[in-house]
Amino acid sequence: MEDAISTVEEALKQQALGSAVNRPRASVIAGPGAGLYSMQAACPYLDVFGFKAYTAGSEGYRFLVYLYSADTGELLSVLQAGLLGQLRTGAATAVATSHMAPGDASVVAILGSGHQARTQLEGICRVRAVTTARVYSPNADHRRAYAEEMSRKLDVEVTPADSPRLAVEGADIVVTITDSRTPVLDGRWLQPGMHIAAVGGADMYVSELDDATFERANVVVVDDVAQARIECGELIMATSNGVILWEQVRELWQIVGGVTPGRRSPDDITLFKSLGMALWDVAVAKAVYDQAVAQGVGTRLQGYAPLLNPPPPGEEVYPLPLAGGD
């Protein structure tokens, strides 16, 4: 997690400098619950570019990241990216928290107890001295299991809460990590100084936050505005209702790069909406690739044809068939 946090933060700093490029997610839907999703990014400062492709189907999601050399165009690696995605998402929340939450924040509320919720709390604990966390899930067994597991893993007191409001009251940091299509956080529960990380759902029909939350937030930040305009159900509804203007929404690279402050006063209510960026995937994939090469692990793929007889400069390059029909 420490490596993921530093890698994601550096990627955002480079984005602020113009040395990293992100493209919004694209999707093809094949039927109810079935689809293919892809997202691209370039990290010239790491000499790589790549994309993440993932599928949704009857057995859940499958994630792959393809990493290429920005110098030669060579395919460097193909990584299974389920855990990688959990790490980079938790790391991004940690980076936003480090720049936007109160410095003395110590109490965390987690609304949601799925696999992504675990790295959310882990990341926050790396950037703030968390003493207590409360978790709510509609399933009592799930929230108890989460509390027991994360208490052991993080050496932090994590307790199950019987309602979202009981989890949120008195918290310094609130994380929503659900797939709910109706708000799980009521803006009336918010107190001055709170920081909210809304991480669940990249879907125009998912809405973890109500309009009152946006009305009360002094600073609203997303990872990518272009992506939020087509995927962020909460902001699509809030802007349609005139609660907030898109021009008021900032991007995380602006906060990390020092273009605009993540918090202007101790009483500010700050909000980070995370949809997930390919930039984080590619940067973290490069870090994993470098470690794999250094440690001599991984499987060498065969049958990948190099570019034979490169053309003179200025001539167009056409793809060649793979040798042996592979």
| Judgement on whether residues 171 and 61 belong to the same structural domain of the protein | no
Which pLDDT belongs to residue 323?
Answer: 39
| Structure tokens given for 13 | 């700093």
Which pLDDT belongs to residue 321?
Answer: 43
Which pLDDT belongs to residue 53?
Answer: 96
| Judgement on whether residues 55 and 154 belong to the same structural domain of the protein | no
- Please return the burial class of 88, using the count of CB atoms within 10 Å of its CB with bins 0-12, 13-18 and 19+: buried
- Burial pattern 216-255, b for ≥16 Cβ within 10 A else e, equals bbebbbbbbbebbbebbbbbbbbbeeebbeeeebbbbbbb
Q: In 3D, which of 283, 109, 131, 324 has the Cα closest to residue 199? A: 109
Q: Judge contact between 70 and 48, C-beta under 8 A.
A: yes
Whether residue 324 lies inside any domain: the answer is no
Could you give the number of structural domains in the chain? 2
| Judgement on whether residues 269 and 284 belong to the same structural domain of the protein | no
Whether residue 249 lies inside any domain: the answer is yes
| Judgement on whether residues 241 and 175 belong to the same structural domain of the protein | yes
> Which residue ranges in the chain fall short of pLDDT 50?
317-326
| Judgement on whether residues 111 and 258 belong to the same structural domain of the protein | yes
| Judgement on whether residues 158 and 231 belong to the same structural domain of the protein | yes
Q: Judge contact between 120 and 154, C-beta under 8 A.
A: no
- The CATH number of whichever domain residue 118 belongs to comes to 3.40.50.720
Whether residue 60 lies inside any domain: the answer is yes
Which pLDDT belongs to residue 207?
Answer: 87
Which pLDDT belongs to residue 201?
Answer: 78
Whether residue 105 lies inside any domain: the answer is yes
Total-model pTM: 0.90
| Judgement on whether residues 130 and 44 belong to the same structural domain of the protein | no
Which pLDDT belongs to residue 313?
Answer: 64
| Judgement on whether residues 286 and 257 belong to the same structural domain of the protein | no
| Judgement on whether residues 184 and 35 belong to the same structural domain of the protein | no
Whether residue 9 lies inside any domain: the answer is yes
Which pLDDT belongs to residue 126?
Answer: 98
| Structure tokens given for 249 | 């929404």
Q: Look up the domain containing 65 and give its range.
A: 2-84+279-300
**Number of Cβ within a 10 Å radius of residue 34:** 12
| Structure tokens given for 194 | 């709170």
| Judgement on whether residues 260 and 177 belong to the same structural domain of the protein | yes
Whether residue 235 lies inside any domain: the answer is yes
| Judgement on whether residues 223 and 77 belong to the same structural domain of the protein | no
Whether residue 323 lies inside any domain: the answer is no
Whether residue 268 lies inside any domain: the answer is yes
Which pLDDT belongs to residue 300?
Answer: 84
